[in-house]
């Protein structure tokens, strides 16, 4: 599959190319043969699933998401991710977290050869897109709401640690065992796609081994979104100011340590600097993270994993050169910082 850029075109080879006619057929399959489309357009921003914005004749707006073809080479943890996303929305929505509603899920792979979802469109724009157009007060309000929502996600209990797809081989009774498997399959992927690591694999595994006692503090599996950067946080502006309108892209969710959320919540930075977010977290959870040496180690291990993913996933996706350079620079710098912190804590 070709990798192109621009209107109606793809950002990576994992994105399925569809015509507007195919989009219309999928929408009718989801909503019934009487559904009449007024407009549809590909949505830009992501590099994994293909996403289309859909508007019906009555003005209702939806988002169509299509997973990569199942036989396409991916990272091992990237199995059945759209199924994980649908499950995340159901669980998070049930506890009052603002997320899209799934109107239709098709995992038969008969119509387009891939899993696909039709979900409600979340109002507003991403926190990343709005940037500094929001006032300081609005940003603080949204981050406080995000902190509360994230802490609420962390109250959702699972049965086993790890990714939901059994084929990942990451499900286990302890977070230590599961996280060790999660990191191992990612390092296997780095070897498979010939991605150069910032340190030899043995050194990375030794860093994990030095901090496994911290992982043992996580006694039960909790739902973790693990992709809560500002591009997946939607904000709606109104007369009373900005508010959190939705959390998107729950496809990378797993069952693990709720403190792992701190890695993407402060992407390329450190969570200690997000005072409003931590205040919201404390309001919902009853306490803010204490950032003890144990908690700091757990967060640093999550950062290690996240930034390794970012540096490795661009290989199978065929991400364009400018984006590859930018990701490697920023993720690499953050990864080295996490490694140094883990090394200091291991002494």
Spell out the domain ranges in the chain.
20-120, 125-346
Where do we find the tokens 């999928």? Answer: 26
Contact (CB, 8 A) for 288 and 281: yes
Topology at the third CATH level for domain 125-346:
Aminoglycoside 3'-phosphotransferase; Chain: A, domain 2 (3.90.1200)
Phi, psi of 120 (to 5 degrees): -70, 150
Is pLDDT at 5 greater than 60 in this prediction?
A: no
Tokens of 32: 């019934």
Higher pLDDT, 323 or 288: 288
Tens of pLDDT, residues 236-284: 999 989 999 999 999 999 999 999 999 999 999 999 999 999 999 999 9
Give residue 1's pLDDT: 22
Q: State how far the Cα of 77 lies from the Cα of 167, in Å rounded to an integer.
A: 8
Q: What is the mean pLDDT of residues 297-318?
A: 93
Q: Which of 148-152, 154-158, 160-164, 339-343 has the lowest mean pLDDT?
A: 339-343
pLDDT for 330-347, tens place per residue? 999 999 999 999 999 876
This prediction's pTM: 0.93
DSSP string, 268-288: TS-GGG-HHHHHHHHHHHSS-
pLDDT of 137 above 60:
yes
In CATH, the architecture of 20-120 is 2-Layer Sandwich (3.30)
Q: What is the pLDDT of residue 11?
A: 54
Sequence-ordered list of residues with C-beta below 8 angstroms from that of 92, at least 6 positions apart, any chain: 99, 152, 153, 156, 223, 225, 247, 250
Compute the distance between CA of residue 20 and CA of residue 43 in angstroms, rounded to an integer.
13
- Is 20-120's fold the same as 125-346's? no
For residue 48, give the nearest of 267, 314, 323, 247 by alpha carbon: 314
User: What does the pLDDT look like over 25-50, one tens digit per residue?
Assistant: 999 999 999 899 999 999 987 778 99
Give pLDDT tens digits for 83-113: 999 999 999 999 999 999 999 999 999 999 9
Residue 198: pLDDT band (50, 70, 90) is confident
Return d(Cα 238, Cα 60) in angstroms, integer: 20
């Amino acid at each position: 599959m070709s990798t192109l850029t621009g209107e109606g075109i793809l950002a990576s080879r994992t994105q399925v190319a569809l015509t507007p006619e195919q989009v219309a057929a999928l929408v009718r399959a989801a909503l019934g043969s009487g559904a009449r489309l007024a407009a549809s357009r590909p949505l830009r921003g992501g590099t994994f699933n293909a996403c289309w914005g859909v508007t019906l004749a009555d003005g209702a707006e939806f988002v169509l998401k299509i997973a990569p073809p199942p036989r396409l080479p991916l990272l091992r943890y990237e199995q059945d991710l759209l199924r994980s996303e649908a499950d995340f929305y159901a669980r998070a929505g049930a506890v009052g977290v603002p997320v899209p509603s799934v109107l239709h899920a098709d995992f038969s792979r008969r119509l387009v050869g891939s899993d696909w979802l039709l979900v409600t469109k979340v109002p507003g724009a991403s926190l990343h897109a709005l940037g500094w157009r929001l006032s300081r007060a609005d940003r603080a309000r949204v981050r406080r709401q995000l902190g509360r929502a994230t802490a609420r996600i962390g109250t959702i209990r699972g049965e086993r640690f790890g990714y939901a797809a059994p084929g990942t081989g990451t499900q286990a009774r302890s977070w230590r065992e599961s996280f060790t498997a999660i990191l191992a399959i990612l390092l296997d992927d780095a070897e498979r796609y010939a991605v150069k690591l910032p340190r030899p694999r043995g050194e990375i595994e030794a860093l994990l081994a030095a901090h496994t006692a911290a992982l043992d503090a996580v006694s039960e599996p909790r739902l973790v979104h693990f992709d809560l950067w500002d591009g997946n946080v939607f904000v709606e502006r109104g007369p009373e100011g900005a508010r959190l309108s939705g959390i998107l892209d729950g496809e990378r969710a797993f069952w693990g340590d709720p403190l792992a959320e701190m890695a993407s919540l402060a992407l390329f930075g450190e969570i200690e600097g997000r005072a409003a977010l931590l205040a919201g977290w404390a309001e919902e959870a009853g306490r803010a993270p204490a950032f003890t040496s144990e908690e700091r180690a757990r967060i640093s291990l999550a950062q290690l994993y996240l930034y390794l993913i970012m540096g490795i996933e661009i290989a199978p996706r065929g991400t364009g050169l400018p984006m590859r350079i930018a990701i490697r620079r920023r993720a690499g710098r953050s990864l080295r910082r996490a490694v140094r912190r883990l090394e200091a804590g291991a002494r």
